[in-house]
Amino acid sequence: MLASEIYDYTHQVLSDLASEGLLPEFVQVGNETNGNILSGSNPYPVDWPRQSTLFNSAISAVRDIDTANNRYTKIVLHIADPSQANYWFGEAENNGITDYDVIGLSYYPQYHGSNLPQVGTTIESLRNAHKKNVMLVEVAVPWTTAFNDGANNILNSLPSGYGGAPSIAGQRDWLVDTVEEVHDHNGIGVIYWEPGWVSTGCATEFGVGSHWENATFFDFGNNLILDGGVQFLEQAIAPVINYVAGVPTNGGQWGTGITGQAFTPKENAVPNPGYPGFVYLLEMSFTQGGNTGGSIGTRLDIYRPTGSTLATSELIGSSINTVDTNAMVDTVYTFQFDGLELLFNSTYLAIFKDDAGNPLALGLLQGWEGSTSVEEYLEGGAIFNYDSNGWTEDTNVDFSATLSTVEAVLLEVNVPALSWIYLSVLLTMFSAVFLYRKKL
């Protein structure tokens, strides 16, 4: 019953947003769900069969909306306290909660400890263990211990090393250090919660006003504190320029289809490419596996499969090299591309052709080599056989693709932190009253 209600609620909210053209890029299922989701006063111990059923019901609703709207939404699962993350997400995976994209963490040093390097290590271990991107979706420290209303404040201390008592400079410097720690360990972003919860005449069951006015980005006159925490958004963070998708290894062979394959850049690729809407293909390399055939002038064409044949599909890039199939095993051939723009989670074809522009048929293992049918490539084999986690598992691992997260013309331009810190719409399943109660 509850699983159906979660599905219906999630589906209805997203359907309403879709009708207004407002579908979010991220959907967070639940909020700080360390315990049982939607369990009232009995969050522990976690009932993992129940937890799995409810989470997967909500996730199914998101994916059904994706299908209906021809898009891909990043699903975030979110718990509090980085020190609990390896256990929680390990149990989630063991219990069948796997169809999500981002591990979201709350990190409040007053409650979770003040060791930023340990947070960075946790981010790295989560990425490696679960092949997911990691984001700090809630962080905050105060800039003062003063009050501006009658509601008790929740935060009242800074981590050690930031000047002792809360201060504007301490808030700013801690946030800058946090962003750098996350970035250095390939996390994809930091979201401050909540920069605008200033004092008002609104009431909770705990008091009139805000429980957070001393931890916002505004002074008690509601003026933005220009030299305060907001400056963490102004950092010049070096972007992830290049990353390799797959690596040529000994024993890789052409035999699964030199002619061409379908491939799909994945948003949760490992290493993490960050989050622009695009990646830019710089080069593709292929390892010689020892097949016979002699030297062949080879062109590698990249298509967007917009039609049923290559002739009716869109050719978007091309590179030329000479392939000697008599060369020594493990000879690597590289095809250069000039930052060819590719969309994440869109399918492309890499087609080998001869000098005359005909798809090559080298007489290897697959009968469709040399075909002009898009369908046969889309149903084909393993050179570009990305797994559900991104780039990491190819059946022969005989290729690599080097991509960039920065457009070629921008590679020498300073890119601000805003290029990888995101604003997102978070679909949550909690009430404001519960949130206040939880943190007070």
Pairing relationship of beta strands 242-245 and 295-304 according to DSSP bridges? unpaired
Instruction: Count CB-CB contacts under 10 A for residue 8.
Output: 12
- 348 and 302 in contact (C-beta within 8 Å)? yes
Q: Is 433 exposed, middle or buried (0-12, 13-18, 19+ CB in 10 A)?
A: exposed
- 83 and 112 in contact (C-beta within 8 Å)? yes
Report DSSP letters for 117-134, one per residue. HHHHHHHHHHHHHH--EE
Helices (runs of H) and strands (runs of E) counted in the chain: 8, 15
Q: Helices 85-94 and 116-130 sit at what angle, rounded to 10 degrees?
A: 10
What is the Cα–Cα distance from 73 to 51, expressed in whole angstroms? 21
- 288 half-sphere exposure, CB direction, 13 A CA radius: 20
Extended beta strands in 223-353, E state: 242-245, 260-263, 278-287, 295-304, 314-324, 332-343, 348-353
Dihedral of CA atoms 188, 33, 72, 271 in degrees, nearest 10, equals 30
Per the structure block, which two tokens stand in for 339? 């930052």
By three-state DSSP, how is residue 75 classified? strand
Residue with tokens 């064409």: 301
Q: Is 150 exposed, middle or buried (0-12, 13-18, 19+ CB in 10 A)?
A: exposed
- 224 and 217 in contact (C-beta within 8 Å)? yes
Q: Is 246 exposed, middle or buried (0-12, 13-18, 19+ CB in 10 A)?
A: buried
Amino acid at 21: G
Of 268, 261, 283, 395, whose CA–CA distance to 339 is shortest? Answer: 283
Return the active site residues.
32, 138
What is the Cα–Cα distance from 107 to 150, expressed in whole angstroms? 26
**What separation in angstroms does the CA of 258 have from each of 20, 298, 299, 303, 432?**
45, 11, 11, 15, 57
